[in-house]
Structure 1
Amino acid sequence: MRVLVTGGAGYIGSHTLLELMAQGHEVCVVDNYCNASPEVLVRIRSLSNGTLVDHIGDVRDSVKLDDIMDGFQPEAVIHFAGLKAVGESQERPLHYYDINVSGTLCLLRAMDRIGCRKIVFSSSATVYGVPKYLPYDEAHPTNPTSVYGRSKLMVEQILTDWTAAQDDTTAVLLRYFNPVGAHASGQIGEDPSDIPNNLMPYIAQVAIGKRDALTVFGDDYDTADGTGLRDYIHVVDLARAHVAALGYADKATGARAFNVGTGQSYSVLDMVAAFERTSGKTIPTKVAARRDGDIAAMQADATRAKHELKWVTEHNLDDMTSSTWVWQSGNPNGYKS
């Protein structure tokens, strides 16, 4: 299948490219590199002999997008391009709505112009908000607590309406939990351009001495150790979920949401202890106030993905932390190393 991947040079996108090419898909990447490095694709090509073409472009640039669509003629799109920091979204709401929502509208118009009818969307478990029960299943009410989460939910609704209006279209909405880890090669991994917003890259940067201590945002949640509980999923398992979603989209129509997680939650301090165990490094911590938009706990019920996508996770917590350390220790400055 010919697959256009927006934001394909990013953390999750890059791992997905390898999985797509391993399965024989032809891939075209569109990325503006605002949160990624061109070095990513150099490494992807060295790890795979699959078909990969790439373009520098923004999904909000309709002229550029039309040119790419006309040239590549994708049969499906995997849409990663967007912003993802909860805290930043509260400070820059219009920026988040512009990129995450307006960018998707431009993409769908470009797809419509060439008759591309299948899309896999990078959504988020933040669409659920404060849990009414755990684990979340896909029937759980949606009530996001952050601008980021609301932007993802808006796109889900747009895609649902898009498929409802055209009975030959498919939108697979993958609600991610917390991706961590890196490729087994140690050649690609998470490389934040500034202070990490996510837990694992922050821990890894403390481990290599780039930062003095891990800031724990809140130790007074109603959890066993007072720190937030999250369902962490290895990025390779998440990447493979996208390949499974393409297979599903090839046979189904309409919009369908799927939780993509392990069903197991770990606290911040659990993750610190696991990283210390697999890396042999000590991670100093300091406590700060809770971040606006964060919740105490989240956990996935991924039964639907297991039954309908035929997908399950294969990596455990030690795989997540050890692969992160292999990536970070071998690339102390990320892709600038």
Structure 2
Amino acid sequence: MKVFITGGCGFVGEHTAAALLEAGHQVFLYDSLFNSCPETLEALRRITGERLPFEQGDIRNGERLLQTLKAFGPDVVFHFAAFKSISESFQKPLDYYDVNVSGTLTLLKAMRACGLKRLVFSSTVGVYPENAPSPCPETVAAAAPHPYGETKVMIERLLSRLGDSDPDLSSVILRFCNPAGAHPSGLLGEKARQPQGNLFPRIWQAARGELPQVEIFGGDYPTPDGTAVRDYLHIMDLAEGCVKAAEYSLGHQGTEIFNLGSGAGASVLSVLRACERAAGRCIPFRIARRRPGDRPEFIAATGKAESILGWKARRGLDEICQDAWRYESHRN
């Protein structure tokens, strides 16, 4: 396949690119570099031996997207470019709708102008309502409790409508759980230009002494240790699931939704302890107030991806932390 990736230098994009190249596919990266780093390109070259074609551009720039898509002529488009912080989305809803929703509309129009019919879209398990069961199957109706999730719900519904209007269009929607870890080479990992609200970056910052402590939001949830339980997925498992989704899209028509998760839960405190084991040091923390939009527990049901895509997560929490620390302890 020839695969075009928006957000190609981001955390998910770079690891998916590595997995696609390992599987023998061609890759083109498109990224604004607003929250990612151009060093990704050199890291991918060192891992794969290939210098990937790259275009710096914003997904809201329709003309640049159109010309780049025409020049590359992909079989499948991955759409990863988005703003993705739940807490920030409450503070900046206009920015989130602009980038996530308007940017997707611009991409879809450019794809239509090029006659491209295959899209893999990165959504989130954050589209599920607060009272969703855990484990949660794809059949549960989306009703996001925060602006970030709402942007993803809107895009999912748009893709479904497009599928109804064009029987040749294939949209594979992947609802990601919490990606973490790093490439086993230690050359690729989670590195962003903007301050990160995600758990793992904050833990590693505290481990390196860049933060005085990790804030754990909520210690009074109805869980075994009082901290929230989440489904953490190794980034390479996620990337391999993306490859499976792209290959599936070639012979598929319509819109299909898959959860990508480990199918197991880990509390925030147990994640911290696993990071301590990987780093070989104690990591200070304090319990803070709950954040809006957080729920006590969420685990994704992953049977559909296993049965249809032939994909299942293979790596556990300790491997997530070991691979992530290998990257974190050597990066600048």
TM above 0.5: yes
Are the aligned partners of 2:244 and 2:309 in contact in 1 as well (CA < 8 Å)? yes
Per the TM alignment, residue 162 of structure 1 is displaced from its structure 2 partner at its CA by: 1.1
Asked if 2 retains the 8 angstrom alpha-carbon contact of 1:30 and 1:54, the reply is yes
Structure 1 residues 174-226: Cα deviation after superposition (integer angstroms, max 9, x where no partner): 00010000000111100132432111111111111111100011112121211
Find the aligned partners of 2:281 and 2:240 in 1 and give their Cα distance.
30
CA contact (8 A) 2:237 2:315 kept: yes
Point out the more displaced range, 288-297 or 115-124. Answer: 288-297
Please list, as runs of the form range in 1=range in 2, the aligned pairs for 1:199-238 lying within 5 A after superposition: 199-238=199-238
Q: In the alignment, is the contact (CA less than 8 A) between 2:37 and 2:193 conserved in 1?
A: no
Contact preservation (8 Å) 1:6, 1:30: yes
| 1:21–1:51 contact (8 Å) kept in structure 2 | no
Could you tell me the percent identity over the aligned residues?
Answer: 39
Which position in structure 2 is the counterpart of 1:120?
Answer: 120
Secondary structure at 1:84 match in 2: coil
Contact 2:44 2:50 in 1 (8 A): no
SS in 2 for 1:160: helix
Q: Which residue identity lines up with residue 242 of structure 1 in the other structure?
A: C
Distance 2:233 2:28 in 1: 26
Q: 1:262 to 1:235 in 2, by over 3 A?
A: same
Structure 1's consecutive aligned runs of 4 or more residues displaced over 3 angstroms after TM superposition are: none
Is 1:64–2:64 an aligned residue pair? yes
Residue in 2 aligned with 1:290? Answer: 290
Do the aligned partners of 1:129 and 1:295 also contact (CA within 8 Å) in 2?
no
- Aligned partner of 2:330: which letter? G
Q: Give 1:74 shift.
A: 1.2
- Measure, in 2, the Cα distance between the counterparts of 1:262 and 1:69: 33
Inter-partner Cα distance in structure 2 for 1:281 and 1:196: 22
Structure 1 regions of 5+ residues with no counterpart? 332-336
- Whichever residue aligns with residue 4 of structure 2, its letter is L
CA distance in 2 between partners of 1:132 and 1:105 (Å):
29
Inter-partner Cα distance in structure 2 for 1:132 and 1:329: 37
Relative to the length of structure 1, the TM-score reads 0.97
> Which moves more between the two structures, 17-26 or 303-312?
17-26
CA shift for structure 1 position 70: 1.3
Secondary structure (helix, strand or coil) at the match of 1:157 reads helix
Normalising to structure 2: TM-score of the pair?
Answer: 0.98
Matches within 5 A, 1:115-154: 115-154=115-154
Partners of 1:192 and 1:201 within 8 A in 2: no
SS in 2 for 1:282: coil
Distance across 1 between alignment mates of 2:39 and 2:71: 24
Is 1:183 matched up with 2:179? no
> Which amino acid is the alignment partner of residue 98 of structure 1?
D
Once the two structures are TM-superposed, the CA of residue 289 in structure 1 deviates from its matched residue by 1.3
Where does residue 104 of structure 1 map in the other structure? 104
Structure 1 position 313, deviation (Å): 0.9
1:329, 1:278 → 2: CA distance?
11
Whether the aligned pair in 1 keeps the contact of 2:35 and 2:194 (CA below 8 Å) is no
**Aligned-partner Cα distance in 2 for 1:137–1:50:** 38
The AA in structure 1 aligned to 2:329 is S
Secondary structure at the counterpart of residue 149 of structure 2: helix
Q: By how many angstroms is 1:23 displaced?
A: 1.4
Q: Give, in whole Å, the separation in 2 of the partners of 1:319 and 1:307.
A: 25
Q: Which amino acid aligns with 2:245?
A: A
**Alpha-carbon distance in 2 for matches of 1:34, 1:90:** 20
- Corresponding residue number in structure 2 for 1:169: 169
The 5 Å alignment of 1:1-337 reads 1-50=1-50, 52-331=52-331, 337=332
Deviates more, 1:232-241 or 1:134-143: 134-143
Distance 1:327 1:110 in 2: 36
Using a 3 Å threshold, how does the CA distance of structure 1 residues 109 and 193 change in structure 2: closer, same or farther? same
Deviations 1:13-56 (A, max 9, x none): 10000011111211111100011000111111111134621000
For 1:193 and 1:8, the matched residues in 2 are separated by 15
1:52 aligned counterpart, secondary structure: coil
Is the contact made by 1:259 and 1:300 (CA closer than 8 Å) also made in structure 2? yes
Contact kept, 8 Å, 1:205 with 1:328, in 2: the verdict is: no
8 Å CA contact retained: 1:27, 1:51: no
Aligned length: 332
Query: What amino acid maps onto 1:144 in structure 2?
Result: A
Task: State the Cα deviation string for residues 131-178 of structure 1 (Å, max 9, x = none).
Answer: 332100001121111100111111111111111110001000000010
Instruction: Name the counterpart of 1:334.
Output: none
Q: Does the 8 A contact of 1:25 with 1:51 survive in 2?
A: no
Assess if the C-alpha contact under 8 Å between 1:131 and 1:298 holds in 2.
no
Contact 1:26 1:51 in 2 (8 A): no
| 8 Å Cα contact 2:130-2:295 kept in structure 1 | yes
